Amino acid sequence: MDQLDPITMLPKTLALVDDDQDFTDYLASYLRDRGVQVDVFADSASLLTSPGVFDFEFYVLDIGLPGIDGIELLKVLRRRTDAGVLVVSGRMAPDAFELSISAGADMYLSKPVRFEQVALAITAVRRREAASRGNSESWKLDCRAKLLIAPDAARIELSETDLAVLECFLRAGGATVGRETLKQTLGKDEAGDPDNVLHATIYRLRRRIEKATPLAVPLQSLSRVGYVFRGQLVSA
C-alpha cells in the first residue's frame, strides 16, 4: 500500500506559542508553506485571551514562557480541548520532559530542532489520534449523497460502483463479504473480467480514502475469501 503523504496529515489550524521570535517566524513560514494556518502567540496570556483559543486543531508551545508558563498553559488546554499538543523547548531542567507529558503534552522535542522534525512530530501525533478515533468511532455511509464519512469527519465522494461495494459491507455488519458476492454486485453494471474489475474497484476506493483522511483504510482483504470492513460502518 502506498504511504500517506505526511503533508496531508498536518492540521489545518495551529497555535504556535513561543517568545523566540526568530524561531516562530521561521517555523510558522515553514508550516504555512505546507498549507497550515498558523497563529503565533508570544506568551500564554496572548493565546488565552484570543478568540477561538480552544478551537485550534493543534498546539505547539514552549514551556519556558513569560508570565503563565507552558506547564500551566498545558493544564488549561487539557481541561478544554483534546487537540494534539507538541512541546518544543530549550529548557534544560532534567524533569522538563516528565512535567510536559504529565501536564498533557503528546510529545516533547528539545531545542535546537529542525523544522522537518517538528512537522514529523506533529504528523506522528495526528496519526496516533486518527488511529484512536478510528478504533472507537463509526464510518458513516450516506447512500443518498454518495458519501463515505470517516470518523474524523472527512467526506469521501463515491462513484456508483464504490457505493455498491460499500452497501455490501453495510449489509454484512462487519462480517466478511465473499469475492463472488462482490463480483456479482459489480457484474450488474461493469464490463470486463470480474476479478480485474473487483481488484480495480477496491484499489480505487482505498486510494480515495487514503487521500481524504489519515485514518487507516478499513478495507482489508482475506486471501482467497473476500474482503472485510475493519471498523463500524453504519448508515448515515
Residue by residue, DSSP assigns 59-78 as EEE-SS-SSS-HHHHHHHHH
pLDDT value for 163: 94
Mean pLDDT to the nearest integer, 170-174: 91
Per the prediction, the chain carries an average pLDDT of 87
Cα(100)–Cα(104) distance, integer angstroms: 7
pTM above 0.85, yes or no: no
Domains of the chain: 6-135 (3.40.50.2300), 137-235 (1.10.10.10)
pLDDT value for 2: 37
- With a cut of 50, say whether residue 60 has pLDDT above it: yes
Cα(135)–Cα(125) distance, integer angstroms: 16
Mean pLDDT to the nearest integer, 140-161: 92
pLDDT value for 131: 63
Q: Give the rounded percent of residues in the chain with a pLDDT score beyond 70.
A: 91
- With a cut of 90, say whether residue 81 has pLDDT above it: no
In angstroms, the Cα distances linking 139 to 4, 186, 217 are 19, 22, 11
- With a cut of 60, say whether residue 83 has pLDDT above it: yes
